[in-house]
Structure 1
Amino acid sequence: MTSSSRKRKTASTLQDLTPDERHVLRSVSLLDAFDATLATRAAGLTREGPALRLVERPFVQHDPFALWPFHLHDVVGSTIRTADDPTDDRWSPTNWQHAAQRALTALGEQWTTAAGPRSGRKLLVGCLRLAREHRLEPDWLTEAAWQYISDSVWEPLAPPAGLDTAQATLELAMCFHHAVRGAADCAAASIARLHNLTRDGDYAYYLDIAHFMAGLPHQPHSTVR
């Protein structure tokens, strides 16, 4: 299917939906995955009916074992965000920004009840992408990154001697903070300090994580210790 035909199909899909369903669809196109509650919060609605109707549509895929069971096909989500919208209730850039902020706030509430560290990582990565793309204030993200980085998921079983673990963890959390705010120079400075802290090889894999967070190229591949 060509780009133009996808856009025509998307326009037809939007017109077939009710106004509230269109509102929910645009909102969830910002997310990697969602459930009815998250979709409703992101859309700023007070009832889940439109979201429950939307997830029955054929372009919404279902994975009952995922953290969030529903997701749009990648092509559908990207087309919704970029295609010309012929409907009378189409969104302005401000509407998209507000939806992104509502989604980030709702995800922050879900962070406190995420089912285990693996789910927490998926949630944080999705939030980082959302915040970076829409230049949102980090709000709860910095504290959540500190909490997650400090747990056992990215820590060696035995902390190595001679390394100030707390300082390395702080620099990694600060890199996350700067990446969310789009402060590339500050993120690079944190990475430089982190490089000095890990130059003996201990916690060198923190550099891989930091470069990923900041979206910066990183040629060497560190060995986890």
Structure 2
Amino acid sequence: MQVKATGPKASVVKYDILTALMTLGLHDKGIDGRLAQRLALLITARFNWQSETFSVGLREIARMWSVTERTTKRELALMRARGWISVHRNAARGRVAEHRVHLNIVLEATRLCWPLVGPDFVARMGQGPQEQPASDNVVPFAKGATKAPQNDGTLWAAASRVIYESDPAIHTAWFAKVTEHNRDGALLELAAPSAFAARYIETHFAGRILAAVTACDPSVTKIRITG
């Protein structure tokens, strides 16, 4: 995924980036959600959209986040470990460090949250049928996988195909990266790409999954999803 918040549609792209981050922050109660909210604040308050960098001292960041400088260092390190940010210029005497935000990686981390905003948002981010051709001055978001799931002989592959045929957009957003983990009698265990995805899928799509699975194998009566 490549994104650039410049050109005639820059304001829309900026709002979309912040929307994606804040949605992840509100729906993921783990580390990624916390980091997303803190990065969203940094981008809103101190981000240079032209250079895609921010130059803010630890003391100021700590004040904005209402944490200690030690916690600030740890949080920035977690963002760097995820590839969300990197040190663009080291700190020196009389000069704070400059960090670059890798927007493409940040947005990829928020992908599972896009449907929570709405189908128009998913389409605008480049995954839906409403996507319009980009102008020559704007680098578009890359489309997500839209191919039908391949039959690898597992029960989940067959059930996944059923879900895809009934709703390709939902399948692409939520089920494309789900895999079969284990089959134990009437229980089918599935693995989602993250704990957040597992919680959301189980909360919102458990009935749909079970219906698709039982259509392929009526002996399965329970579904468990882990991430």
Q: TM-score with structure 1 length normalisation?
A: 0.31
Bigger proportion of residues as helix: 1
Q: TM-score with structure 2 length normalisation?
A: 0.31
